Amino acid sequence: GLMDATVDSGTQTIVNVFNGISLLFVLVALIVFALVPQMRRHPVDLFFWIQLSNLALLITIFVSDINTTLSLQSPLCKFDIILNMFFGVASLSWTILIDVNMYLGLRNPFRDTSQLKFFYHLYSWIVSLIASLVFLGYILVDDGTNKTCWDQTYLSKSDWIIVVILALYISVAAYISIYSLMLFKSHKSNLSLTLRGTIFAAVIAILWIAPLIHHFSNLVIDKINSDNRKYLTIVDSVVSSFNIIAISLFYISYHPSVNNMCLMVCCCMKENYHNYLLPYTYLHQQSNSLRGMFIVTLVKGWIP
């Protein structure tokens, strides 16, 4: 999220620590993307754009920690603020697009969603650009008199942009989570895919609630004392870090070795697990135990 120059140095230190942890997870995910060919295939490759946006966002946040003493009208201040907004919205947009891509896969397992990549890029970058331009408008109409970079007294005026985007995306993620959970319980779709869709969408929807509350509270900042604002800033930072970490771990879960382990868990959770191991149905017929089927699957290295 956007920085807040009105918080004390102790709060800012806590925020920086969690941002540093987030940065480590983003770098690990990007290294995995570069080294493992399977992680660059659709739809897993969509996570790259989230991590790229998160990396740029975290860099702007670290730079902004230096820029807080600059004047609001400083070109460097404006550039940093606009980039922060652009990549922040881009990260949110790519996250919800992955949710939507999973949803489309659940609705029609035979649909090739790789053909939608162009529209995914079009949507995410245009929405980010529009949000940044609107935000730039608030900066340009402010004379910046006696105001430093990241002064919350003017930043709060544009928080409605993030509030609207978060509210919309949380609603979409919640719907997809419920839809995936219903499919999971009905046993009418691929267990691994529905479980992934349910967990990912639910985690994202829940973690985005804290930033939504924080930015909404900024809209009524005059009614919130400094202590409450400090706590909201810390909670927002911690939850946002958990969000980045969760996305990184979810991406890494698609690694072939980790994916096989996920498959084993899915098999344990479903009584008629052999329906999801069709390539080895004949082995299942010869197997007298669930443990035997697990060993066969691990040896074969089948990935759903």
Q: Amino acid identity of 64?
A: S
- Give the C-alpha separation, 24 to 251, whole Å: 14
* HEC assignment per residue over 130-184: HHHHHHHHHHHCCCCCCCECCCHHHHHHHHHHHHHHHHHHHHHHHHHHHHHHHHH
Task: Name every residue whose Cβ is closer than 8 Å to that of residue 131 and which is 6 or more positions away in sequence.
Answer: 85, 86, 89, 161, 165
The tens digit of pLDDT for each residue in 252-285 reads: 877 766 555 555 555 554 444 444 444 433 344 4
- Name the DSSP class of 271: T
Return the pLDDT at 35: 86
- Name the DSSP class of 71: B
Hey, what are 180's tokens? 């995936």
61 close to 109: Cβ distance less than 8 angstroms: no
Above pLDDT 70, what percent of the chain? 66
Return the pLDDT at 297: 45
- Intervals of the chain under pLDDT 50: 2-6, 269-304
pTM beyond 0.85, yes or no: no
